[in-house]
């Protein structure tokens, strides 16, 4: 456990000293701030626009941070060949994967908090009413980001960066298009395509479950039970993804 | 019992779908405690492959490897081992000192013991003045030096060094050689791969010569020299390799 912690700290240190994350976060903040250009709309419309856009921005940039962060956390060790030395120290390969993920957890927590605080501050400043729904929506976005990170990290243990980016983005898009996706599946006649698509939807995470911003914006209450169940759903995916990552990393030659 | 042991250790790399390259071919080797053992061979002869198999970053195609009777994947074995990879690369965003702290922590060292050790090692490798510089700004030889310090952080019983003097200046080479002798006198077992034959000649008690993954010669330096009627290691090295190549060539012609 202590080894995992030491590896996590080093991952966080790397992320802060490399400064690429700052740029992504800064960009996100600019986008959130610029959502107030919708000022020409009536005030309730404007509220909705600002909150809705900001949620979307935080989620999308969270996705970018999670995907690129996890990929670089693993493959920078491999590309820079620091892994040769690291794996000859008394750590297991499982320690390595879990340490990297714990590090990503802290990196994402920090960056997500910056975006969330900025967003809440903006709402406060604009005197836009907030309720528990705002925070539930933010919390579930964070859970989604953690799921994305676990999947990208797991893929990074056995695939190339390019493939990883494609696969992670594909899962992200598919995971958000579940509604449309199922409609399209319903229309296809080809059984093979249908079977494959059905299977994909059963296996891959449904990121749409984490998206409650459309309801929150119009004031539909979200019960706590829903938040808890969906969090459990996310944790399940994280555990499975990490187990897969550990399995592949243990068989990987360095 | 030998402290480092390989039995028919074989590594065949698969490149793409069909092509294979022999990295190491049925290597059987025993290194006793307290030995300073040199592993020699031309480029691509399998030295690095052998060391990586011993430390479990590569998996053997067949055969076995043990350090202190433990498999290469045993964490308790790694506690007693120091390793310096060839052309070491380290976290360029860390400073020299931070690197040593990071590795030291992975060995569960407590803060005071670690700080004391770091002082000692920085002085030993002559990097005391640049300990606060990030590794991005280190020169090749400085990286080799910090790597050597890092491999000694846990005061290992066994040291495995892959070309520790490549990139070092003459003084660094001499210092490393003296350090190796000193470590041997302290009772440590050292497995060293090197291309600097004059150096190996001066420090190693036994050597192995690899070529195309095969073990061509193994034994005490003086014994091998008299066997091959060589006056120095370079001569011995060239003779062994040539003898093998000619044998292969004549077999090829005969077929
Ligand atoms: N990752 C790899 N994939 C495929 N083949 C490899 C790999 N690593 C090494 N080889 C092959 O295995 C053989 C032995 O390589 P190895 O690195 O062990 O040589 P070496 O003795 O350390 O050489 P050098 O003196 O140049 O460091 C070479 O023919 C090399 O091409
Ligand atoms: Mg080598």
Q: Identify the band that residue B214 occupies on the pLDDT scale cut at 50, 70 and 90.
A: very high
- On the question of pLDDT at A178 being above 80, the answer is no
Quote the pLDDT of residue A187.
76
pLDDT mean across residues, chain B: 91
Which amino acid residue places its CA nearest to atom 4 of ligand 1? B13
A212: containing domain: 2-251
Pick the closest to residue B103 from A87, A13, A250 (CA basis). Answer: A87
- Distance (Å, whole) CA B169 – CA A119: 56
By Cβ distance, the residue of B59, B103, B150 closest to A253 is B59
pLDDT one-digit tens code per residue, B74-105: 999 999 999 999 888 889 999 999 999 999 99
Partner A contacted by B43 (CB < 8 A): no
In tens, the pLDDT along B11-52 reads 999 988 889 999 999 999 999 999 999 999 999 999 999 999
Domains in chain B: ranges and CATH: 1-73+193-255 (3.40.50.300)
Chain B contacts of A2, Cβ < 8 Å? 108
Query: Coil, strand, or helix at residue A207?
Result: helix
CB of A174 closer than 8 Å to CB of A200: yes
SS3 B41: coil
Residue B255 has a pLDDT of 61
Give mean pLDDT, residues B109-114: 92
Closest-CA residue, ligand 1 atom 18, reads B46
Q: Which tokens hold the place of B139?
A: 């020169």
Model pLDDT, residue A47: 79
Q: In angstroms, rounded to a whole number, what is the distance separating the alpha carbons of residues A29 and A112?
A: 11
Contacts of B26 (CB under 8 A, 6+ apart): B8, B9, B10, B63, B214
Average pLDDT of the segment spanning B118-137 = 91
Residues with CB under 5 A from ligand 2 (ion): B 47-48, 86
Q: Output the DSSP codes for B193-241.
A: E-S-HHHHHHH-SEEEEEETTEEEEEEEHHHHHHHTT-SSHHHHHHHHH
The answer to whether B53 touches B11, Cβ cutoff 8 Å, is yes
Mean pLDDT of the residues in chain A: 89
Strands across the sheet with B62-67, in order?
B19-31, B4-15, B62-67
* pLDDT of A189 strictly over 80: no
Q: Is residue B154 predicted with pLDDT exceeding 90?
A: yes
How far is the centre of ligand 2, averaged over its atoms, from the C-alpha of B43 (Å)?
7
Please state the pTM of the whole predicted model: 0.92
Domain count, chain A: 1
Is A10's CB within 8 Å of B91's CB?
Answer: yes
Closest residue CA from atom 26 of ligand 1: B43
In the prediction, which pLDDT does A41 show? 66
Question: What is the pLDDT, as a whole number, of residue A51?
Answer: 86
- Residue B202 has a CB neighbour count (10 Å cut-off) of 13
Residue A136 has pLDDT above 80, yes or no: yes
Lowest mean pLDDT among A48-57, A143-152, A227-236, A239-248: A48-57
Residue of B nearest to A93 (CA): B73
Subunit contact B56:A253, Cβ cutoff 8 A: no
- What's the average model confidence in pLDDT over A179-206? 77
The pocket around ligand 1, CB under 6 angstroms, is made up of B 13, 15, 21, 23, 41, 43-49, 86
Q: B240, B205, B197, B219: which is closest to B37 by C-alpha? A: B205
Closest Cα in chain A to B105:
A6
A226 has a pLDDT exceeding 80: yes
Q: Indicate if the pLDDT at residue A183 is higher than 80.
A: no
User: Does residue A35 register a pLDDT over 90?
Assistant: no
Radius of gyration of chain A (CA): 20
Q: B58 in contact with A at a CB cutoff of 8 Å? A: yes
Strands B206-211 and B19-31: unpaired
Identify the sign of the CA torsion B213, B219, B224, B228: negative
How confident is the model at residue B82, as a pLDDT?
95
Pairing relationship of beta strands B206-211 and B214-220 according to DSSP bridges: antiparallel
Note the pLDDT of residue A42.
Answer: 67
Strand partners, B214: B211
Q: What residue in A sits closest to B11 (Cα-Cα)?
A: A253
Phi, psi of A248, rounded to the nearest 5 degrees: -70, -35
Residue B227, pLDDT > 90, answer: no
Task: State the average pLDDT over residues A78-98.
Answer: 93
The CA A214 to ligand 2 mean position distance, Å, reads 58
So what's the pLDDT on residue A188?
Answer: 74
User: Average pLDDT of A129-148?
Assistant: 93
What's the pLDDT band for A39 if we cut at 50, 70, 90?
A: low
At A220, the pLDDT band (50, 70, 90 cuts) reads: confident
Q: Best interface-test mutation with B: which of A84, A94, A250 has the largest number of B CBs within 10 A?
A: A84
Mean pLDDT in residue range B213-221: 92
What was the pLDDT predicted at A116? 93
Name which of B57, B102, B107 is nearest A254 (Cβ-Cβ): B57
pLDDT band at A26 (very low <50, low <70, confident <90, very high): confident
Q: What is the mean pLDDT of residues A108-131?
A: 89
């Amino acid at each position: 456990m202590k080894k995992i912690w030491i590896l996590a700290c080093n991952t966080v240190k790397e992320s802060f000293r490399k400064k690429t994350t700052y740029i992504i976060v800064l960009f996100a903040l600019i986008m959130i701030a610029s959502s107030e250009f919708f000022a020409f709309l009536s005030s309730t419309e404007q509220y909705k626009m600002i909150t809705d856009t900001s949620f979307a921005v935080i989620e999308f940039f969270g996705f970018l941070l999670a995907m690129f962060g996890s990929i670089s956390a693993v493959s920078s060790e491999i590309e820079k060949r620091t892994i040769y030395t690291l794996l000859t120290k008394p750590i297991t390969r499982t320690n390595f994967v879990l340490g990297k993920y714990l590090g990503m957890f802290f990196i994402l927590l920090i960056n997500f908090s910056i975006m969330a605080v900025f967003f809440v501050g903006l709402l406060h400043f604009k005197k836009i009413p907030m309720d528990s729904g705002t925070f539930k929506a933010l919390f579930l976005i964070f859970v989604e980001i953690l799921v994305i990170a676990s999947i990208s990290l797991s893929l990074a243990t056995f695939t190339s960066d390019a493939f990883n980016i494609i696969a992670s983005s594909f899962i992200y898009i598919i995971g958000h298009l579940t509604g449309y996706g199922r409609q399209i599946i319903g229309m296809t006649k080809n059984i093979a395509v249908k079977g494959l698509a059905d299977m994909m939807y059963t296996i891959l995470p449904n990121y749409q479950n984490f998206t409650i911003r459309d309801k929150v914006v119009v004031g539909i209450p979200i019960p706590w039970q829903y938040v808890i169940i969906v969090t459990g759903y996310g944790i399940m995916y994280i555990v499975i993804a990490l187990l897969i990552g550990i399995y592949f990393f243990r068989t990987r030659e360095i | 019992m030998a402290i480092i042991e390989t039995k028919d250790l074989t590594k065949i790399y698969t490149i793409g779908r069909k092509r294979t390259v022999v990295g190491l071919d049925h290597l059987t080797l025993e290194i006793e405690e307290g030995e300073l053992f040199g592993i020699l061979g031309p480029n691509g002869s399998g030295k690095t492959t052998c060391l990586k198999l011993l430390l479990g970053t590569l998996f053997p195609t067949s055969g076995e490897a043990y350090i202190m009777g433990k498999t290469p994947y045993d964490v308790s074995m790694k506690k007693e081992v120091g390793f310096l990879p060839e052309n070491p690369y380290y976290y360029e965003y860390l400073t020299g000192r931070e690197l040593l702290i990071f590795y030291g922590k992975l060995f569960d060292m407590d803060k005071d013991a670690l700080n004391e050790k770091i002082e000692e090692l920085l002085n030993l490798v002559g990097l005391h003045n640049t300990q606060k510089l990030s590794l991005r700004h280190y020169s090749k030889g400085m990286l080799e030096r910090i790597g050597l310090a890092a491999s000694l952080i846990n005061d290992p019983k066994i040291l495995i060094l892959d070309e520790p003097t490549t990139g070092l200046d003459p003084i660094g080479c001499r210092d490393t050689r003296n350090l190796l002798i000193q470590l041997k006198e302290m009772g440590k077992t050292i497995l060293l791969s090197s291309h600097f034959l004059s150096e190996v000649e001066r420090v190693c008690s036994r050597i192995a010569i690899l070529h195309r993954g095969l073990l061509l010669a193994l034994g005490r330096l003086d014994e091998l020299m008299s066997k091959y009627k060589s006056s120095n290691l370079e001569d011995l090295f060239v003779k062994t390799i040539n003898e093998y190549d000619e044998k292969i060539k004549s077999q090829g012609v005969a077929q």
